Homo-oligomer: A and B are copies of this chain.
Amino acid sequence: MQLYSFFNSSTAYRVRIALALKGVPFDYVPVNIRSGEHRAADYVDAVNPSAAVPAVSEDGFALGQSLAIVDWLDARHPEPRLIPAQPEQRARVLELSCLIACDIHPLNNLRVLKYLDATLQVAPEQKSAWYNHWIEEGMSGVERLLAKHGGGPWCFGDQPTLADCCLVPQIANALRMGCDLGAYSRSMAVYEHAAAHPAFKRAEPKAQKDFVAP
């Protein structure tokens, strides 16, 4: 299997965690989204028509979108399962994962911050306020969901799921941007628990071969 990844991409980070938890061997193919390699015609044509990371490729089958990839990995490499089979448990995992993947991360990723800078030419403090606003909106929801339905040490019980694969990169990203996450104690407890897990360590940006120090 090939994984097309950029060290600093939160969505690629989700898939790296999933692959590490499952112990699936893969070739790491760096795609530098800062320099626009994800838009190169050969990548878009042969690997990912949506021109983004992550993507995976195996036996001629290529797939983009981190949540779709983890779902597919669960079919192809079922152990450990990251999206539970039982409908209500599954619903909780997908609900929290989608809250992060649809309501938080898309507003704060590289392409959006670039647009705020280059096209809207907002001031640095406005960009920072934007980032913090969507973190606060979204993480308040994450925290309420964990309070109502969660139960540690992972988001939902004693095994990591897709929800943890989404939460950990989101929190790492927010910490890198200097957000104060003190109000989200349940989320931070999961994050700190995950930080000690070897699969989560292997998936960190700084452990990737294309890592560049800030």
Contact = CB atoms under 8 A, between A and B. Distances in A.
Contact of A94 (B51, B65, B120, B147): B65
A95 B130 contact: no
Interface stretch (A100-108, A174-182, A202-210): A100-108
State the majority secondary structure of interface residues on A: helix
Given A68-B95, A115-B130, A129-B119, A148 B102 contact: no
Interface residues of A, number: 50
A102 B101 contact: yes
Contact of A91 (B72, B99, B137, B140): B72
Interface in A43-59: 44, 49-52
Contact of A52 (B72, B103, B115): B103
Contacts of A61: 88, 91
Interface string A140-166: 111011011000000000000000000
